[in-house]
Structure 1
Amino acid sequence: MIVQRLDWIDALKSILIIIVIWGHLIQYYSGETEFWENSIWEIIYSFHMPLFIFISGYFFKNKPNLIESLKTKAIQLLLPGLTCAIILYIKSSHLNNIQLIDIKHIFESACMNLWYLKTLFICLLGGYIFFRFKVVSIITFILFWLFIRSGLYDYIEINLIYTLFTAIGGGNGLFFLLPFFILGYCFHHYNVYIKIKKNIYLISFFFMWYILMQFFNGLDTIYFASPKWFSNNTLFYEEIIRTIYRDSVALFAILFLFILFKKYYNSAYTNLTINKVFEEIGKNTLGIYIFQYLIIEMNLFNLPFLKICQNPFICIIHSILITLIFNQAVKYIQIYKRFSTLLIGG
């Protein structure tokens, strides 16, 4: 079945993947030892992944064939992590002693890389199961929530289980993104847009985001947060407030940007070349995300990013150019179906 795409969604996703690359260039190659204090990095990391998963939730639908759906999503979201782990293992081995493959190392690397894709897979899995076993799903989630929030996660001594939890950010990533996945689903399912599409709401969401961002800093992101809320009859109020604050910042940013694009991305101008380019990038964000992991985050080819990324504003120009190059690479790889499936999930 051919799925009709929405131009404004593809355009929004293209902007998101550009700022993902921008944020990673600042993080890894700005030359700043405390990159989390960079104001542009703070803005990017206040909303970019929550908005991505909100969009996934927005289009989530229960599928009649659970096994087939999970198989498709596993190939799309989990297989690239394994392929990337093998590629990086081969590189680190310098093609020496490849016959002595360290399966454990590859498995751990596959679990820990591309954490967002694993978290998205868990959200989709939870959604599919919820529609079939609502009570069991709710009880399971509550027990998992208590397990993580109580700090029992820290006492896991079984390496396999610890590695699997790490794959979703130790629970922190999942707890941060799952509410926005659910919100995206509800936003579409209950047609919330109709109720809040007036400009007064759009302006209000922007100002709330702007005001909250005045107090936001990089240390408020999940990368520096603890998933623990309570332990030994002690509540960690500071971490609870921090979580609520972080989620509120992301919420207002999502509502503003999502409504802005849905309302004002005019299809009458989609014949413009630049619009077509952005919409094409939006269709290939998964592949671009995987390419940027290998080439930017892991610097697979030892490229001199450090020399071009120390100015954050020049860095955005490089981010756009890199995105365009990666988009072409994705299009080229998609010609070879089997290789495309292994590397970028399809």
Structure 2
Amino acid sequence: MVKENTKPRVEWVDTAKALGMFLVFYGHFIKNLYSGGNDIAFLQHKYIYAFHMPLFFFISGFYFKPVQNFGLKFKQLFLRRLLPVFTFAIISLPLWLLYNLLIDGSMKLSTVAVRLLSYGRGNPQLNIITWFLVCLFISEVIIAAITTIFKNRLILCFIGFVFLISGVIISNRIEQVSALSGIAKNVWFIHSAIVAIGLYLIGYFVYPYINKLIKIAKWMFIPLMFFGFVGLFFTYNKNSPFIGFNVNMITAQFGNLTLFVVSSFLGILGIIALSIMLKSNKIFDFIGKNTLILIGLNGIFYAFINKHLGALFLENGNWWQITFYALFVSVLSLLVCYPIINLFNKYIPQLLGRPKQSGPLLPDLESLNWRAMLRKKLNQ
């Protein structure tokens, strides 16, 4: 039997995470439809990419608490962020060997070995979508160090804006900065993490004010929703308006500082306002509670399935055809994930973001004294 110390969940936050996760599936699939030069698919992809990953870093800051014990927090972050990255690497490894054998007639062991070694640079090439967890880990470790000194929300928000602005500026000059610092471009996603830290700390600051506004005037989120989405519509394509450029946090690609900040926060506002206005349901709750596992599963679709399904679509499809096909594949992909998520949660939740759970196969990993166990092993 699985035992877990559960905390009350905020329904609209789960809804926001669910909407964001749907955009991840949709955005990663529609990328395959514009590779042939379809402008409609590209613009949909660009609209989503303008804000969907900033949204997740922003939401991640909602439940943050300033750190008292850095060592304990580091252990928790490793188990909750990096351990799932390695777990999905193990899951993906045999899939790569089988996929290569089916597609190319060879397992390509050397290529797979290179993908495996990339984890030493913090680049999860066996399941690239888990880059988010690596970047979130680095961001939260730095934030934990910062909040051992600074506790005030307003000060942390100011620090967040400094990180956000400086992160985009650094990323836009990443080659020069890398040459001066000796840190390779985005190793362990450090350059993207600078921006992510800003989004995270601003989310931490804003969260209680969102809840206050919900209690005082929930109706205000209706005009805010329209302002967010409509404003994004008029700004997202002004950030380097040509085919071939997207805001893309995985590559520390943000474009114009002002346009990135404006577009990302407009999109975040739209999703949060929509989430507050929507009635919670079991589907949103389930997806919101299992976003970490869905990130890893999306990585499997992204690597092995999406491009083949995308190749079935006509390159000159119109807006309705593109949207319907991408919606169909995205919803179908999420449905396929449902039994897999339940299986993972039943047997190995500790390896996939819930280390405090106990049973049925593994104990509560956070409660284990790893140092004592290591000393005992070395003394044997």
Q: Does 1:214 align with 2:218?
A: no
1:77 Cα deviation after fit? 1.7
CA deviations on 1:292-326 (whole Å, 9 max, x unpaired) are 112x2211798544326962322112211211221
In the comparison of the two structures, how many residue pairs are matched? 314
1:166 to 187, 208, 214: 187
Q: Does 1:155 align with 2:175?
A: no
Distance 2:85 2:52 in 1: 21
CA 1:30–1:327: 2 relative to 1, 3 Å = farther
Q: Report SS of the residue matched to 2:65.
A: coil
Q: Is the 8 A contact 1:221 1:246 kept in 2?
A: no
Q: Does 1:260 align with 2:274?
A: yes
Structure 2 residue aligned with 1:180: 199
Structure 1 residue aligned with 2:283: 277
Q: Does 1:223 align with 2:248?
A: yes
1:290 to 282, 296, 300: 296
Letter in 2 for 1:244: T
Q: Does 1:11 align with 2:25?
A: no
Distance 1:82 1:33 in 2: 35
Q: Is the 8 A contact 1:208 1:252 kept in 2?
A: yes
Q: Does 1:307 align with 2:312?
A: yes
Q: Report SS of the residue matched to 2:304.
A: coil
Structure 2 runs not aligned, ≥5 long: 102-106, 316-321, 355-380
Letter in 1 for 2:188: A
CA deviations on 1:168-212 (whole Å, 9 max, x unpaired) are 2x61x3344332211210012456752995655752563365245
Q: Is the 8 A contact 1:47 1:250 kept in 2?
A: yes
Distance 2:54 2:14 in 1: 16
Q: Is the 8 A contact 1:19 1:44 kept in 2?
A: yes
Query: 1:1-346 maps to which residues of 2 (within 5 A)?
Result: 1-29=5-33, 31-33=35-37, 38-90=42-94, 91-92=96-97, 104-108=117-121, 110-111=123-124, 113=128, 114-134=130-150, 151=174, 152-155=176-179, 161-162=183-184, 165-168=186-189, 171=191, 173-189=192-208, 193-194=212-213, 197=217, 199=219, 202-203=222-223, 206-207=226-227, 209-217=229-237, 219=240, 221-223=246-248, 242-262=256-276, 264-266=277-279, 270=280, 275-294=281-300, 296-299=301-304, 304-307=309-312, 311-337=322-348, 340-342=349-351, 344-346=352-354
Structure 2 residue aligned with 1:235: none
1:8 Cα deviation after fit? 1.9
Q: Is the 8 A contact 1:82 1:110 kept in 2?
A: no
Could you tell which deviates more after superposition, 82-91 or 282-291?
82-91
Q: Is the 8 A contact 1:288 1:326 kept in 2?
A: yes
1:213 Cα deviation after fit? 2.6
Q: Give percent identity, aligned residues only.
A: 21
Letter in 2 for 1:70: F
Distance 2:148 2:229 in 1: 37
Letter in 2 for 1:326: C
Distance 2:122 2:138 in 1: 18
Q: Report SS of the residue matched to 2:327.
A: helix
Q: Is the 8 A contact 1:85 1:106 kept in 2?
A: no
What is the Cα-based RMSD across aligned positions, in Å? Answer: 4.0
CA 1:308–1:174: 2 relative to 1, 3 Å = same
Q: Is the 8 A contact 1:12 1:282 kept in 2?
A: yes
Distance 1:44 1:141 in 2: 23
Structure 2 residue aligned with 1:236: none
Distance 2:113 2:50 in 1: 39
1:79 Cα deviation after fit? 2.5
1:290 Cα deviation after fit? 0.6
1:101 Cα deviation after fit? 5.8
Q: Is the 8 A contact 2:222 2:273 kept in 1?
A: yes
1:27 Cα deviation after fit? 0.8
Distance 2:249 2:350 in 1: 34
Q: Report SS of the residue matched to 1:60.
A: coil
Distance 1:81 1:277 in 2: 25
Structure 1 residue aligned with 2:357: none
Letter in 2 for 1:166: V
Letter in 2 for 1:249: S
1:63 Cα deviation after fit? 4.2
Letter in 2 for 1:281: I
Q: Report SS of the residue matched to 2:58.
A: helix
TM-score by length of 1: 0.73
Kindly indicate whether structure 1 or structure 2 has the higher relative contact order, using CA contacts under 8 Å at least 6 residues apart.
Answer: 1
CA deviations on 1:67-116 (whole Å, 9 max, x unpaired) are 23322222222223334445555524856869x96663453474463222
Q: Is the 8 A contact 2:50 2:264 kept in 1?
A: yes
